[in-house]
Amino acid sequence: MSTAKQLRLGPLPKTESTKLTFSCPASLKADLDRYAALHAQAYGEAVDATTLIPHMLEAFMAGDRGFRKGGGSKAALPKSG
């Protein structure tokens, strides 16, 4: 089985970004860096943990049934501008 089939996060789409800063345990940062290396190997495009985090969070929230049932859809988010 190839690495690409094992990763939940597929190729990254191009999106508009907003900067957000957060702290995490060193062990999580190490895991994110390892995931980024596997992602780059699987899809042939170098990415770092900072690039992956928003996509991982978006996938997590999309898969959270309680969040979706509670009105947590993209349409419910306010437009920035």
For the segment 9-27, what is each residue's pLDDT rounded down to a tens digit? 788 778 787 888 999 999 9
Q: Where are the alpha helices (DSSP H) in 1-81?
A: 3-6, 26-43, 49-62, 65-69
| Residue 38, domain extent | 26-64
pLDDT in tens, 30-61: 999 999 999 999 999 999 999 899 989 989 99
pLDDT above 70 covers what percent of the chain? 81
Residue with token string 């996938």: 59
pTM of the prediction?
Answer: 0.64
Domain assignment present for residue 35? The answer is yes
Please give the average per-residue pLDDT across 61-75, as a whole number: 78
Total of domains in the chain: 1
CB 8 within 8 A of CB 42: no
Domain assignment present for residue 60? The answer is yes
